[in-house]
Amino acid sequence: MEWSALRDLLAVAETGSLSAAARRLGSSQPTMGRRIEQLEKQLKTLLFNRTSKGLILTPVGEQILGYAKNMAENANAIERIASGADQSLQGVVRMTMTDQMGNYWLPTKLSEFRQRYPGLRLEIVVENRTLDLFKREADIAVRFSRPQQLDLVVRKSIDYHYGFYASKSYLENHDRPESLKDLKNHSFISYDETIFSNAALKRLENLIGEQNIVQRYTSNSGVINALTQNLGLSVVGCYFADQDERLERLMPTQFDYSFNAWVVTHADLFKSARIKAVFDFLVEKLAEDATDFAGVSSH
């Protein structure tokens, strides 16, 4: 039995089709088909039922799947260890962070980074879902909640402050809210709960009332764009909102939420000079900008 075929099995089972599995593994559909076919021949068992919509695991296939997943975990660990052993300051490092951090904050630091580590290339994965560091979907993540898993290296980096904002033109056409109870008279733009879910936001939404929440976005940028369209008001990160001429902060002394941001990597990877360099760079630069992330209220 070819171990590699079990990886194929896993991909087919998880994606549901040969074609999708081939896309994930950078292979082709006929190849995947033949590999699964051969695996079945060697194991003398039917692993998938073929349909025109894809492949569905047989009961035996289901049983086997769990073991294949274990193998994948171990294979991932091996890749992490090997990466961790690489002491050269060359190669690629994948990071994941929010769209704003990735698209607006990070670029301002890149020229310095490039100067300091000319051999390193950065890949910034801006994805809304939390990428899996164990599967090495990313090497380093900036998270707004502290991950509790063992095997992770975590550094607290900044207090990221959020405040109430509205666009200036919106304020020209509406009453300016002066206290939290005024919020009931305004439309509110909020966040998709699959992305950004926390107790403070929930309480706020209760205060405002569901009927006033006119839109939900999966990103800070989306909310800011909605604000500039005069859709209403919202809570956004001060660091970015303050830079936006079109926006104005409301009730800065009464309302100032702060979330800790954390830089995270896997302990195996942290042994790598490459990963460590990027990790430390991120922590350093975030510390330098700490006061900016605190927003106008602390200026």
Partner DNA sequence: CCATAGCTATACAAATATGAATATTAGTTA
Partner DNA sequence: TAACTAATATTCATATTTGTATAGCTATGG
Please report, as ranges, the residues that interact with a copy of itself according to CB under 8 A: 1-4, 6-7, 43-45, 60, 63-64, 67-68, 70-71, 74-75, 77-79, 81-83, 85-86, 91
Instruction: Give whichever of 3 and 181 is closer to DNA, judged by the CB atom.
Output: 3
Name residue 67's amino acid. Answer: Y
Name 152's bridge partners. 266
Find the shortest distance in angstroms from Cβ 96 to a copy of itself.
Answer: 21
Find the shortest distance in angstroms from Cβ 281 to DNA.
Answer: 36
Among 14, 24, 43, 54, binds DNA (CB under 7 A): 54
DSSP 193: T
Q: Name the binder of 63 from a copy of itself, DNA, none, CB < 5-8 A by kind.
A: a copy of itself
Dist. CA 293–CA 296, nearest whole Å: 9
Instruction: Give whichever of 12 and 247 is closer to DNA, judged by the CB atom.
Output: 12
Q: Does residue 209 bind DNA (CB under 7 A)?
A: no
> What does residue 249 show for φ and ψ, rounded to 5 degrees?
-85, 145
Instruction: Give whichever of 7 and 246 is closer to a copy of itself, judged by the CB atom.
Output: 7
Dist. CA 97–CA 110, nearest whole Å: 15
Among 42, 50, 114, 197, binds DNA (CB under 7 A): 50
Site for DNA in 55-74 (CB under 7 A): 55
Quick one: which H or E segment has residue 167?
strand 152-167
Q: Does residue 17 bind DNA (CB under 7 A)?
A: yes
Instruction: Give whichever of 53 and 181 is closer to DNA, judged by the CB atom.
Output: 53
Instruction: Give whichever of 31 and 128 is closer to DNA, judged by the CB atom.
Output: 31
Look at residues 155, 182, 163 and name the one whose alpha carbon lies nearest to residue 250. Answer: 163
Q: Does residue 176 bind DNA (CB under 7 A)?
A: no
Instruction: Give whichever of 41 and 181 is closer to DNA, judged by the CB atom.
Output: 41
The answer for 136, left when phi > 0, alpha when psi is -120 to 50, beta otherwise, is left
Helices (H), the chain: 3-15, 18-25, 29-43, 59-85, 99-100, 107-116, 168-173, 199-208, 220-228, 238-241, 267-270, 273-288, 290-293
Among 6, 13, 35, 120, binds DNA (CB under 7 A): 35
Token pair of 189 as six digits: 């733009």
Scanning 28-36, 140-148, 252-260, 261-269 for contacts with DNA by CB under 7 A, the matching segment is: 28-36
Find the shortest distance in angstroms from Cβ 271 to DNA.
Answer: 27
Q: Name the binder of 31 from DNA, a copy of itself, none, CB < 5-8 A by kind.
A: DNA
- Residues of 84-108 as b/e, b for ≥16 C-beta within 10 angstroms? beeeebeeebbbbbbbbbbeebbee
Instruction: Give whichever of 1 and 150 is closer to a copy of itself, judged by the CB atom.
Output: 1
Find the shortest distance in angstroms from Cβ 205 to DNA.
Answer: 32
DSSP 182: G
Are 224 and 247 in contact by the 8 Å Cβ rule? The answer is yes
Residues that bind DNA (CB under 7 A): 17-20, 26-31, 33-35, 50-55
